[in-house]
Chains A and B, each alone.
Chain A
Amino acid sequence: GQNIDQPTEMTATEGAIVQINCTYQTSGFNGLFWYQQHAGEAPTFLSYNVLDGLEEKGRFSSFLSRSKGYSYLLLKELQMKDSASYLCAVIDSNYQLIWGAGTKLIIKP
């Protein structure tokens, strides 16, 4: 079967750095998305990786290793507004989007 694994919950301190990992086992690979979802709100697009390496976008960076079936989302200079769930999703060989259950990130002052 197809599977996306992410930690259920993480806690970090305001101003610090946090890395949210995502590992996947899918039938083929056509890209990986990260979305942010605040409680009661829409998931919003953060990043899309299809090639190996690090993509940086302001305080957020996303890394992909296709050979290891692994990605991470790196958040720097954490702010209280970064408290949210972070969803990892992989496009498989049939162009279906396979979703992880999400990681709830709690930021403490």
Chain B
Amino acid sequence: ETGVTQTPRHLVMGMTNKKSLKCEQHLGHNAMYWYKQSAKKPLELMFVYSLEERVENNSVPSRFSPECPNSSHLFLHLHTLQPEDSALYLCASSQAGSSLAGSGGSTDTQYFGPGTRLTVL
């Protein structure tokens, strides 16, 4: 148990569906992250939020829409996804808040949730 929870753990959706992934952290951290993990590939950073403001967006397609209503919750809204979007989506949090560099990074350890296994049919 890392203090970061994600729901749902598994999600199967059609290309025309709209769904949302939820992440919650109980660590009192100020930064939250969305990553995509595909088999045998490095983790891909999608979004970074610091103190509820989006700091980094690594050219992610607009069919992925993040939302951070407060420092403990992070959502990823999905719509009109493609089969190649099938992957494990990981949420992480870290202590860094205002100390994040302009790029959205820091040296703080990131703590991960268990991920949502997404399959797009």
Contact = CB atoms under 8 A, between A and B. Distances in A.
B51 interface: no
A4 B41 CA distance: 11
Interface string A31-53: 10101000011111100101000
B101 to A, nearest CB: 4
Contacts of A41: 114-115
Contact of A33 (B109, B115, B117): B109
Interface residues of A, number: 26
Contact of B4 (A8, A35, A42, A89): A42
B34 to A, nearest CB: 13
Please tell me the size bucket of the interface on B: 20 to 34
In terms of DSSP, what is the predominant structure of the interface of chain B? loop
Nearest to A43: B112
Interface in B81-121: 90, 100-101, 103-107, 109-115, 117
Contacts of A40: 114-115, 117
B27 to A, nearest CB: 12
Given A42-B90, A45-B111, A94 B101 contact: yes
Interface of B: 2, 4, 40-43, 45, 90, 100-101, 103-107, 109-115, 117
B42 A30 contact: no
Contact of A4 (B2, B42, B106, B114): B42
Interface of A: 4, 8, 30-31, 33, 35, 40-45, 48, 50, 87, 89, 91, 94-102
A97 B45 contact: yes
B105 A97 contact: yes
Contacts of B117: 40
B40 A91 contact: no
B47 to A, nearest CB: 14
A94 B103 CA distance: 6
Nearest to B2: A42
Nearest to B102: A94
B106 A44 contact: no
